Structure 1
Amino acid sequence: MAHSPLRPIPRIIFASRWLQLPLYLGLIVAQGVYVYHFLVEVWHLLSHVTTFDETKIMLVVLGLIDVVMISNLLIMVIVGGYETFVSRLGIDNHPDEPEWLDHVNAGVLKVKLSMALIGISSIHLLKTFIDADQRSEHTIMWQVIIHLAFLLSAVAMAWVDRMVTHPHPAAGPGAAGGAAEATH
């Protein structure tokens, strides 16, 4: 069999997935920045434990939860994205392998990411409502609208993923065609 002169092109295209590696490494650096930010906020909370009122403590704790949720989002993107789009991690049967990694694909990753974004948006919305007297109605309205857009997007992505992974069989005899037969 003769080799096609374009044979190197598919190899180059396939190898181009490795261009994502610096992006994932950059996200690992961003994860480190979030760890630093988290520790600064914990120190801030501890240093004001006797002076903060309950509302202020709740806002700081919600901020900490927000950082953890963003960190979880980063892990999903780094680990799931690398495994899905770049190369296998080779951690099969490792005791620390995350359960969700067994069945990760682009569709599952999108749904998990959208759910994480909804969680992060919910935390921000809760912080806004707790501190509503410091926010304009316009800001609150747009935050709610954006949150609803996240919700609708997540539902749409989950629906599309379900349609792709569980296609409905074509209508055969006795299904939708049964109504046409009954008119004879």
Structure 2
Amino acid sequence: MATASNTRNTTQKMHPMATILFGSRWLQLPLYLGLIVAQGVYVFHFMVELVHLVQKVPDMHEADIMLIVLGLIDVVMISNLLIMVIVGGYETFVSRLNLKGHPDEPDWLSHVNANLLKVKLATAIIGISSIHLLKTFINAPNLDDKTMLWQTVIHMAFVLSAVSIAWIDRLMTHADNKH
């Protein structure tokens, strides 16, 4: 209770411009709520594809089943990415969620910051890109070499970007620890 009172007193003592600037973080709330709606759309899409898979399975070849299952995995990975952005972004940029001690608190949330969130997002994007690339390779007989080449190049760009982000984060963390 004293903490909430101290927070209110600190906010009241802030310069009006600082109060406006700091309060502007709440403008992100509709963005996070919109991502929750997008998550609902992905759940609906997942269920439609799952029903499609179950209904058509007797008439499908193994490669077709694998492509649909990879599509379902892709939806799950994008959904995980959305959760990281929604929960991690809200916690980092808007307001604390105060989940300490909650049995379902994600391990990574206790030490989330903007840099860690970037690294986690970059690695999640690599995972999603890997699924797309695997789908491309499975479907290779139906695609031209140019499509496969560009998807591989784009995937490698994601990998290099993630490694660069992680390396820069490590350099910054290492530099901060020296000071």
Query: Do the two structures share a fold, i.e. TM-score over 0.5?
Result: yes
Deviation at 1:45, TM superposition (A): 0.4
Deviation at 1:136, TM superposition (A): 1.7
Question: Percent identity, aligned pairs only?
Answer: 67
* Amino acid corresponding to residue 19 of structure 1 in structure 2: L
- Corresponding residue for residue 97 of structure 1: 105
Q: Where in structure 1 are there 5+ consecutive unaligned residues?
A: 1-5, 171-184
- Show CA shifts across 1:149-181 (max 9, x none): 0000000000111111122749xxxxxxxxxxx
Q: How does 1:98-177 map to 2 (within 5 A)?
A: 98-167=106-175, 169=178
Q: How does 1:6-155 map to 2 (within 5 A)?
A: 7-155=15-163
Note the aligned Cα RMSD (angstroms).
Answer: 1.4
- Show CA shifts across 1:3-28 (max 9, x none): xxx92111111000000000000000
Q: Where is the helix percentage greater, Structure 1 or Structure 2?
A: 2
Deviation at 1:36, TM superposition (A): 0.2
Aligned length: 165
Runs of 4+ in 1 over 3 A off after TM superposition: none
Determine the C-alpha separation between the residues in 2 that align with 1:42 and 1:54: 15
* Amino acid corresponding to residue 100 of structure 2 in structure 1: D
Determine the C-alpha separation between the residues in 2 that align with 1:139 and 1:30: 28
Q: Which has the larger radius of gyration?
A: 1
Q: Where in structure 2 are there 5+ consecutive unaligned residues?
A: 1-13
